[in-house]
Structure 1
Amino acid sequence: MTETASLTAVRADVWLWAARFFKTRSLAKQAIDGGKIAVNDAGCKPAKTVHAGDMIRITRGEERLEVEVLALSEQRGPASVAQLLYRETEASRAARDAAREQRRLIGAAGPLRRPDKQERRELRRLKDSG
């Protein structure tokens, strides 16, 4: 991992890749170009420089994260090291937990599927009797 003291700024796409938010730098660039990343509540381009103390808002599918940049790196390291590069805000963590719980409750109803033969016969009996 590159020394954090020697770095004062890193490209946004490189930092997102090094912090393991995206598997490849190309995917990080696509997310930035697609408007899924905001640095300090402003739009972002892949070459925008990220500094320690910046706030980054990341949208990946249904997941929304807001993180503070703690350290900079141009190299992708192990996940344990990558987690030291940022800190997720409490509001972001609470919102993600609430969304996860909401998805779990919606999913508890079970997947929608067509009734099997036995269920079709039972439905037919219910409809004929009513």
Structure 2
Amino acid sequence: MTDPLPRLRIDKWLWHARFFKTRSLAARVVSDGGVRIDGDRASKPSQTVSPGAVLTFPQGRRIRVVAVVALGTRRGPAEEAATLYDDRTPPSQPVPPRVGPRPTGRDRRRLTALKGDPEDL
């Protein structure tokens, strides 16, 4: 009889791989519907993942795309956690450099007057 693929809870794997500081924070992101497993929305933190699955989830202001390579047995050091996944996140767009000096308060007021401040409506 062949053993099925090993599986691990999604919240536990995200915590083991050090994407979230606490397991409860990882569970909250999953519960809020922010995690996709192979394109399907994960509805519960108890859903399981196995090697080969592709996860898409928000982390801060970035959207991360990672492929599960291995399941961890513990939350180890960062070097160990990096072996659990293959990062497929597209590179972020570089922030264009600022042209000229920083706007002054007077500049901001003039710009607000041109745009029409919503508070004045």
Tell me the TM-score normalised to structure 2 length: 0.74
Q: Please name the residue that 1:21 is paired with.
A: 19
1:93 alignment partner, SS class: coil
- In structure 2, what is the equivalent of residue 75 of structure 1? 74
Q: Provide the C-alpha distance between the structure 1 equivalents of 2:72 and 2:103, rounded to a whole number of angstroms.
A: 45
Asked if residue 88 in structure 1 is aligned to residue 58 in structure 2, the reply is: no
Structure 2 partner of 1:9? 7
SS across alignment from 2:70: coil
Runs of 4+ in 1 over 2 A off after TM superposition: 107-115
Q: In structure 2, how many angstroms separate the alpha carbons of the residues matched to 1:37 and 1:52?
A: 16
Distance 1:20 1:113 in 2: 41
1:17 counterpart letter in structure 2: W
Shift of 1:112: 6.4
Q: Does the 8 Å CA contact 2:52/2:67 hold for their aligned counterparts?
A: yes
1:22: how far off?
Answer: 0.1
Task: Flag the 1:62–1:76 CA change in 2: closer, same or farther, 3 A.
Answer: same
Contact 1:36 1:60 in 2 (8 A): no
When residues 48 and 108 of structure 1 are mapped into structure 2, their CA distance, relative to the original with a 3 A threshold, is same
What root-mean-square deviation, in Å, do the aligned CA atoms of Structure 1 and Structure 2 show?
Answer: 2.4
**1:1-130 aligned within 5 A:** 8-44=6-42, 45-89=44-88, 92-94=89-91, 97-98=92-93, 101=94, 104-105=95-96, 108=98, 114=105
Query: Match of 2:63, SS?
Result: strand
CA contact (8 A) 2:34 2:41 kept: no
Distance 1:83 1:46 in 2: 21
For structure 2, the residue ranges without an aligned partner over 5 or more in a row are 111-121
Q: In structure 2, do the counterparts of structure 1 residues 13 and 74 end up closer, same or farther at CA, with 3 Å as the change threshold?
A: farther
Specify every segment of 5 or more residues in structure 1 that has no aligned partner in the other structure, as ranges: 1-6, 124-130
User: If you compute each CA radius of gyration, which structure gives the higher value, 1 or 2?
Assistant: 1
Q: Quick one: which amino acid aligns to residue 90 of structure 2?
A: R
Report sequence identity in percent: 33
Q: Write the letter of the residue equivalent to 1:108.
A: R
